[in-house]
Amino acid sequence: MKIAFIILSCDYPGNHFTRLLERLAEFEDSVIYIHHDYNQNDFDKSLLNRFNIVMAKNNYVTYWSHINNVKATWDLIKQANEECKPDWTITLTPTCYPIKSISQIEIF
């Protein structure tokens, strides 16, 4: 089962976000797609080498509750569907963290 994780971020990736990426990397056949708003903060490019991360082709300036967030999410979903053809697409934020085991999530 191939999973595409879709994440919109705007803060420099901290410990919580890194732990989320580590957890998502436990899924066998998954790709992490990230739209990062570089207008707000830099992104730690060393994370690209550590995890199966694909950065968004299109970038938007994002604001709380702004239509650009929807555009960025939609573009990432389209990009994931074209590139990796996932069975499941899951949207997350950098502050999310799965509380169930990987096997429980895969069974669900």
Q: Quote the pLDDT of residue 36.
A: 97
Q: Kind of pairing, strands 53-55 and 30-36?
A: parallel
pLDDT tens for each residue of 49-81: 899 999 999 999 998 889 999 999 999 999 999
Question: Could you give the CA distance from residue 73 to residue 69 in angstroms, rounded to a whole number?
Answer: 6
pTM of the full structure: 0.92
pLDDT tens for each residue of 15-53: 999 999 999 999 999 999 999 999 999 999 999 989 999
Question: Could you give the CA distance from residue 21 to residue 42 in angstroms, rounded to a whole number?
Answer: 17
Q: Is 90 helix (H, G, I), strand (E, B) or coil?
A: strand
Question: Could you give the CA distance from residue 36 to residue 59 in angstroms, rounded to a whole number?
Answer: 7
**Structure tokens, 75:** 């573009």
**Structure tokens, 36:** 């990062």
What are the domain boundaries of the chain? 3-107
